[in-house]
Amino acid sequence: MAVTLEQARRVGYTCLKALLRFAFMVANNLVAIPSYVLYLIMLQPLRILDSKSFWYIEGVLFKWLLAMVASWGWWAGYTVVEWGDDVKAVSEDEAMVLVNHQATGDVCTLMMCLQDKGTVVRQMMWLMDHIFKYTNFGIVSLIHGDFFIRQGRAHRDQQLVLLKDHLEKYYRSRNRKWIVLFPEGGFLRKRRETSQAFAKKNNLPFLKHVTLPRIGATQVILKTLVAPQENGTPSGGDTVRKESKSKGLQWVIDTTIAYPKAEPIDIQTWILGYRQPTVTHVHYRIFPVKDVPAEPEALTNWLYQRFIEKEDLLTHFYETGAFPPPQGQTKAISREMTLSNLWLVAIQSLAFLSGGMWYCLFQYLYHCLF
């Protein structure tokens, strides 16, 4: 089939735009991430004298970095519409966020749609695959105190012990509020076949749009962070009691991400912007932690039920283009999530100005020393 001049122009424009966006992203990383690291190195005396203020400043810088990632998608026309419960109402409380996992773009989507949720972004902890540690953003996550979990049966028990130790050491000492995890333990396309085989063997529902979750990390988080009086567990031990101002983990936010036509956005698309503008839909349902069972078998059933409900939500979405209304209501209400272009430009400008400042400083020191 012959390519028309109009088609050739369109392809050429798309390639040029992707190239320019990639160049901008590289430049963005080269100035923003080193600046983040250098600012925190300079602030190490404050960390010793006033740890709370140090981690407050680190959280602000962390939020700005996540906003930069969000801006790459936002300016490409990848927007978000939100459904279900309004999570802003619990943004100042401690919460565990359970998310279905389809592609690398899921993390970028969350970075975007949580930007307008108050202090959440700067006070959240992420649980992510250990491979993420070796990406350009890995050093930032290491400093921020995120947890990198190694997948696989051979590592599972050890990783859960390490997770418990990590939470006790860093979660409240750095004033974290939300903890985000993907209980499926991998991307949908990689785990679906194995999950369906497991479901068939154990007489569990056949799931197409999600996979059966793994309980280990969820159980450790609940045991470590939930105050004893919330659900009858001795969770947290001295960790909770030492933090007299903390009420412990209070909410579980069940988050379901849906892409039109079940075509998820990956990180390459997010960066290069070659897909047409797309609206990603995010559904929230909030559960009080006191309603979450503590016993392993009951917790497993509860968590399975959440993902069975996700399956129903996604099936309805792919059939109708909208999530179903809450029980007892006749219409589901959606909310368009928005970001301020002026604010994003200001953050990007600050990043490049910071990069220039550090460059000039090191040039000056070099000339002074040599």
Give residues with Cβ within 8 angstroms of 340, minimum separation 6: none
Token pair 């400008």 is at which residue?
349
Inter-residue contact 314 to 192 (CB < 8 Å): no
**Mean pLDDT confidence for 50-55:** 96
Question: What is the mean pLDDT of the segment spanning 98-116?
Answer: 93
CA 344 vs. chain centroid, Å, equals: 19
pLDDT digits (tens, 9 = 90+) for 300-314: 999 999 999 999 999
- Identify whether the C-beta of residue 301 lies closer than 8 Å to the C-beta of residue 140: no
Q: What is the pLDDT of residue 237?
A: 44
pLDDT score, position 2: 60
Mean confidence (pLDDT) of the chain = 90
pLDDT in tens, 114-167: 998 988 999 999 998 888 888 888 999 999 999 998 877 777 789 999 999 999
Q: Beta strands 278-288 and 251-258: pairing type?
A: antiparallel
Q: Residues with Cβ < 8 Å from 221, sequence gap 6 or more?
A: 96, 163, 167, 179, 181, 249
pLDDT value, residue 94:
95
CA gap 274, 77 in Å, rounded = 10
Where do the domains of the chain lie? Answer: 5-227+247-324+331-369
Residue among 176, 226, 214, 188 nearest 98 (CA): 214
Global pTM? Answer: 0.90
Q: How far apart are CA 304 and CA 343, in angstroms?
A: 40
Separation of alpha carbons 90 and 92, rounded Å: 6
Report the distance separating Cα 64 and Cα 343, nearest Å: 10
In this structure, the number of other CB atoms found within 10 A of the CB of residue 197 comes to 10
Distance CA 123, CA 184 (A): 24
Spacing of C-alpha 319 from chain mean position: 27
Cβ-proximal residues to 63 (8 Å cutoff; 6+ apart), any chain: 115, 121, 122
Query: In this predicted structure, what is the pLDDT of residue 10?
Result: 82
Predicted confidence at residue 130, as pLDDT, reads: 83
Q: According to the model, what pLDDT value does residue 242 have?
A: 43
> Is residue 5's pLDDT more than 80?
no
Residue 243: per-residue pLDDT: 42
- Nearest Cα to 99, choosing from 284, 315, 358? 284
Q: What is the number of other CB atoms lying within 10 angstroms of the CB of residue 93?
A: 15
- Alpha-carbon distance of 289 to 250, in angstroms, equals 5
Residue-level pLDDT at 230: 56
pLDDT 10s digits, 62-78: 999 999 999 999 999 99
Residues 6+ away with beta carbon under 8 Å from 137: 33, 65, 69
**What backbone torsions phi and psi does residue 342 show, to the nearest 5 degrees?**
-60, -45
The structure tokens listed for 5 are 């001049």
